[in-house]
Amino acid sequence: MSRARGFRGARRRAKARPGLLDKVTVDAIGDTVDAVHGAGRANIAAMVKRRSGLLRRRYSKTVRKAKQTGLVGYITRSARRAAFYARFVHDGTRYTSARPFHDLAVAEQAPKHKRRMRRALSLAAGPSSLGRNGRGRVRGV
């Protein structure tokens, strides 16, 4: 007869872990999407001289929980059609220089996003389940 205990609780926690990981991951993606969107709008205000407001109004964000993705930019077809010249402002033409408001916002938030995702993984996994990997630190993420 074995005296080991806690197997039922361990199984219950193991079954709940994927759902918790999904929730924490979507929250981290949402935080990143909010930060990139805010930085992109600030860059539009700083880089664009003639402001009609169309670039800023149509620059939107969305988080899809089911697919665990986040989008920032001119997402809808109507936004791309209305702000057609956004690609020329962002990438430049042979007559104007590029003003990469979106790329700069993404590059600014990339290290913070990486930290958010690592933190989400460690929160969902818990310190005891990653004990064999090096005291709860996740490597290679």
Q: For 14-29, what is each residue's pLDDT tens digit?
A: 676 677 788 888 898 9
64-74: b or e for each residue (b if 16 or more CB lie within 10 Å)? eeeeeebebbb
**Per residue in 41-64, pLDDT tens?**
999 999 888 778 888 889 999 999
- Measure the CA–CA gap between 17 and 123, rounded to whole angstroms: 10
pLDDT cut 70: percent of the chain above it = 79
1-13: b or e for each residue (b if 16 or more CB lie within 10 Å)? eeeeeeeeeeeee
Query: How far is the CA of 121 from the CAs of 6, 18, 21, 73, in angstroms?
Result: 23, 10, 7, 27
Report the 10 Å Cβ neighbour count for 90.
Answer: 20
pLDDT at 2 over 50: no
| DSSP 3-state of 37 | helix
